[in-house]
Amino acid sequence: MTGNGYRRGDIVVADLDPSAGHEQRKRRYLLVVGNEQFNRTCNLTLACAITSADNGYPLHVPVHPISMGESIEGFVEVEQLKALDLAARGAEVVGWVPSDEMDRITGMILACFA
């Protein structure tokens, strides 16, 4: 984490409660997808939830992060893109995703808005 925010590609673990409807709940791994300028300017961080379940959903992108001691293999839920105050949610960085995987994930996010 930089002084004013999280870095694109960071894997963090944070509490997503309270949540509603189909939103992910409880303490979860998240992939930071927003760039550092957005994160610092808004005091929010764009992130997507990570799930361990492979249900074949087309918006779930496999991810193979480099962890700092935790097993984080799973699927980035592109449809769960959120702007979060990670500091208020007690987030901590536990790993990161290599840039080639970030490019693939970013492409999927952009395709949702095209």
Residue type, 27: R
- pTM recorded for the entire structure: 0.87
Q: Mean pLDDT check: name the lowest of 4-8, 34-38, 73-77.
A: 4-8
Domains of the chain (ranges; CATH) run 10-113 (2.30.30.110)
The string of pLDDT tens digits covering residues 47-59 is 999 998 888 888 8
Residue 65's pLDDT band (cuts 50, 70, 90)? confident
